[in-house]
Amino acid sequence: MADVTNLLGRVLIAVLFFAGAIQKFVDPAPVQTMIASIGLPVSLVWLVAVLDLVAAICLVIGPKIARWALIMAAYCILTSWFHWQLRADPWQVSIVIKNWAIAGGLLILAAQGPGRWSIFR
């Protein structure tokens, strides 16, 4: 049962990053606006989109699932900065908390590893 739930959890988290990659490729403007708001070049959206896509694939099949889980946990915590807009848009705070929860799940995955059901270890 643990291997089944591990794989299912990896797939569900990967879907989030995959959808984020597609969203950035199709309509980069919202992310570019957030990136520009802290003075970074908007072209970073493409690097982030590729990171999301590669991470999604690697979280499901590997390689180095635990390493990718750590990288993406840090990514979720760091990107929370863009959403911390308590006065401007209180709804964004729920996105911060969601990101932290995803980071928590990724940290558990990093600690537990991929289980038996992964192509690469």
Average model confidence (pLDDT) across the chain:
90
Question: What residues in the chain have per-residue pLDDT under 70?
Answer: 85-88, 120-121
Q: What is the pLDDT of residues 37-57, one digit of tens each?
A: 888 999 999 999 999 999 999
Q: What is the pLDDT of residues 87-101, one digit of tens each?
A: 667 777 888 899 999
For position 105, what pLDDT does the model report? 95
For position 17, what pLDDT does the model report? 97
Tokens representing residue 30 in the block? 């919202």
Residues 78 and 102 sit within 8 Å (Cβ to Cβ): no
Q: Is 69 exposed, middle or buried (0-12, 13-18, 19+ CB in 10 A)?
A: buried
Q: Collapsing DSSP states into helix, strand and coil, what is residue 42?
A: coil
